[in-house]
């Protein structure tokens, strides 16, 4: 027993001196950052804009502010020679220290993106307080205006923005990408990564009070630099090749008739073969769909189904071909074909139009035709 007390006091004493966990910070002493925007001002200094929670306003249990003035967040910005410098300079004007562990969104201005973001992202991966699973976003809007927008539903715009880009599961026309995913994709042989390009727009023509986020297109980064944009269709081609297609709607046109197919379950597989110095890629796509809607008077017969399937395959092939064409245009390997090639042959792929060919095989299947007989 004496021994026990002795060791207990010893441990407690060492604790007093071993101040390993000294950084006690009460919830009332931190500013919880939800989104951060990165831009450069005229003099070339970094200008960071922060979207910070106002806990007192969020006190209502439903998290909905009573009026539009009562936003759950407020935004402010600071400048500095580096990003870390700018973050610390924020305390020159804010009453509390910024707390980044719950940062959801990193918005990068088009200007910074064109200049390259390899060094910009360094602190977000290096400093312990940042989370590598925050989503990256590029915008051409003014960052201050972008972050300070009045969103209609959530009292925290960053939360709404996060939800919007996560909706990729329903449409398969964008791809949310976190910092570590971006870093992972950029660190490959292909060195390309897509990032959502988001703008703000009015929900209705006449309304001016609130704004909505809109994922307009995808920015393509090659070697950490913004090189071009992908449309929604082109991005679908990328998702097919990467096997990341989730749910989505494919309207198939047959003459005047339109059939909307809903993607239920899809998979893809890509292989490479080398022949005569050329790389032949085979992309196999299997997809299961439901018929969701039809603009047609014709009965659904098996011959019509075959026609729809044929047209559907064609439009999938078309999407992939489009992104491939864009790849050659921008001269960057958006589909990460080089990685596939490298893993098979341990050699870098000579990425140009003449030495790369992709053949696409689509196996569509229509499972159900909905609740109507016709």
Partner 1 sequence: MKKGSISNSITPFYDQNIQNIKNEFGNFSDLIIREFKIGSSNIRSFLVMIDGLVDKMVINEHILKPLMRDISIYKKDQSTCEEMYIFIKENILYSHCITEERDWAKTVHCILCGDVALFIDGVDRCLLISVRGWESRGIEEPNTEVVVRGPREGFTENLRTNTALIRRKIRDPKLKIESIKIGKISKTDIAICYIESVAKKELVDEVKRRLEKIDMEYILESGYIESFIEDGKYSIFPTVGNSEKPDVVVGKLMEGRVAILVDGTPFALTIPYLFVEAFQTSEDYYSRPYYYSIVRLLRYFSFFVATTLPALYIAVTTFHQELLPTSLLISIASAQAGIPFPSFAETLTMLVIYEILKEAGVRLPRPVGQAISIVGALVIGEASVSAGLIGAPMVVTVAFTAISAFMIPAISDAVTIIRFACVVMSAICGLYGIMLIWILMIIHLCSLKSFGINYLAPIAPMVVHDLRDVFVRLPWRILKKRPIIFNKNF
255 binding partner 1? (CB under 8 A): no
Q: Which of 90, 216, 227, 213 is nearest to 154 (CA)?
A: 213
Out of 17, 42, 56, 66, the only residue in the binding site for partner 1 (CB under 8 A) is: 56
Residues β-bridged to residue 31: 98
Identify which of residues 27 and 276 has a Cβ nearer to partner 1 in the complex: 27
Binding mask 100-139 for partner 1 (x = CB under 8 A): -xx-x------------------------x-x--------
Q: Whose Cβ is closer to partner 1: residue 104's or residue 236's? A: 104
Nearer to partner 1, 57 or 249 (CB): 57
Q: How many residues bind partner 1 (CB under 8 A)?
A: 31
CA 226 to CA 113: how far, in whole Å?
Answer: 5
Report, in Å, the least distance between residue 67 CB and partner 1.
Answer: 17
The rounded distance, in Å, linking the Cα atoms of 325 and 327 is 5
15 binds partner 1, rule: CB under 8 A: yes
Q: Report, in Å, the least distance between residue 201 CB and partner 1.
A: 26
Determine the distance from the C-alpha atom of residue 168 to the mean position of all C-alpha atoms in its chain, rounded to a whole number: 9
Q: Is residue 26 within the footprint of partner 1 (CB under 8 A)?
A: yes
* Rounded CA separation 2/171 (Å): 68
Q: How far is the CB of 36 from partner 1 (least distance, A)?
A: 14
Using the contact rule CB under 8 A, the part of the chain among 1-9, 209-217, 290-298, 333-341 near partner 1 is 1-9
58: contact with partner 1 by CB under 8 A: yes
Which one, 23 or 303, has the nearer CB to partner 1? 23
Q: Which of 8, 153, 258, 361 binds partner 1 (CB under 8 A)?
A: 8
Of 86, 69, 18, 76, nearest to 50 (Cα)? 76
126 or 275, CB closer to partner 1?
Answer: 126
Choices 17-25, 108-116, 169-177, 291-299; region in contact with partner 1 by CB under 8 A: 17-25
Nearest distance from C-beta of residue 107 to partner 1, angstroms: 17
- Whether the CB-CB separation of 136 and 177 falls below 8 Å is answered with yes
What number of CA atoms fall less than 13 Å from residue 11's CA on the CB side?
Answer: 5
**Residue 33 or residue 324: which is nearer to partner 1 going by CB?**
33
CB of 66 to partner 1, least distance (A): 14
Please report how close the Cβ of residue 26 comes to partner 1 at its closest, in angstroms.
5
Stretch that binds partner 1, among 23-31, 239-247, 271-279, 325-333 (CB under 8 A): 23-31
Which region among 8-16, 112-120, 145-153, 343-351 touches partner 1 (by CB under 8 A)? 8-16
Pick from 275, 251, 274, 249: which is nearest to 262 by CA? 249
Instruction: Check residue 298 for interaction with partner 1 (CB under 8 A).
Output: no
Q: Which of residues 152-171 bind partner 1 (CB under 8 A)?
A: 156, 159
**Site of interaction with partner 1 (CB under 8 A):** 1, 4, 8, 11, 15, 20-21, 23-28, 30, 32, 34, 53, 55-59, 63, 99, 101-102, 104, 129, 131, 156, 159
């Amino acid at each position: 027993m004496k021994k026990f007390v002795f060791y207990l006091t010893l441990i407690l004493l060492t604790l007093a001196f071993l101040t390993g966990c000294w950084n006690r910070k009460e919830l009332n002493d931190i500013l919880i950052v939800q989104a951060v925007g990165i831009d450069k001002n005229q003099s070339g200094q970094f200008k960071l804009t922060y979207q910070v929670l106002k806990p007192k306003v969020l006190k209502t249990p439903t998290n909905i502010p009573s009026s539009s003035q009562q936003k759950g967040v407020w935004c402010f910005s600071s400048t500095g020679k580096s990003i870390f410098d700018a973050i610390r300079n924020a305390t020159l004007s804010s009453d509390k220290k910024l707390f980044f562990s719950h940062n959801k969104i990193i918005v990068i201005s088009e200007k910074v993106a064109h200049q390259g973001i390899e060094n910009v992202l360094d602190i977000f991966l290096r400093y312990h307080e940042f989370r590598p699973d925050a989503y990256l976003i590029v915008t051409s809007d003014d960052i201050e205006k972008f972050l300070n927008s009045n969103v209609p539903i959530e009292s925290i715009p960053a939360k709404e923005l996060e939800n919007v880009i996560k909706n990729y599961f329903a449409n398969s026309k964008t791809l949310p990408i976190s910092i570590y995913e971006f870093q992972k994709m950029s660190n490959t042989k292909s060195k390309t990564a897509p990032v959502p390009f988001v703008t703000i727009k009015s929900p209705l023509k006449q309304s001016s009070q609130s704004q909505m986020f809109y994922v307009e297109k995808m920015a393509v980064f090659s070697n950490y630099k913004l090189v071009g944009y992908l449309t929604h269709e082109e991005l679908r081609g990328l998702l097919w090749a990467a096997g990341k297609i989730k749910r989505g709607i494919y309207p198939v046109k047959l003459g005047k008739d339109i059939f909307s197919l809903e993607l239920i379950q899809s998979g893809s597989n890509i292989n490479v073969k080398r022949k005569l110095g050329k790389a032949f890629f085979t992309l196999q796509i299997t997809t299961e769909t439901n018929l969701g809607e039809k603009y047609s008077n014709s009965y659904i017969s098996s011959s019509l189904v075959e026609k729809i399937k044929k047209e559907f395959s064609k439009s999938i092939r078309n999407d992939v071909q489009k992104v491939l064409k864009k790849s050659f245009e921008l001269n960057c390997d958006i589909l990460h074909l080089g990685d596939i090639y490298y893993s098979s042959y341990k050699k870098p792929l000579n990425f140009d139009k003449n030495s790369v060919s992709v053949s696409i095989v689509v196996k569509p299947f229509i499972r159900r035709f909905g609740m109507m007989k016709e």
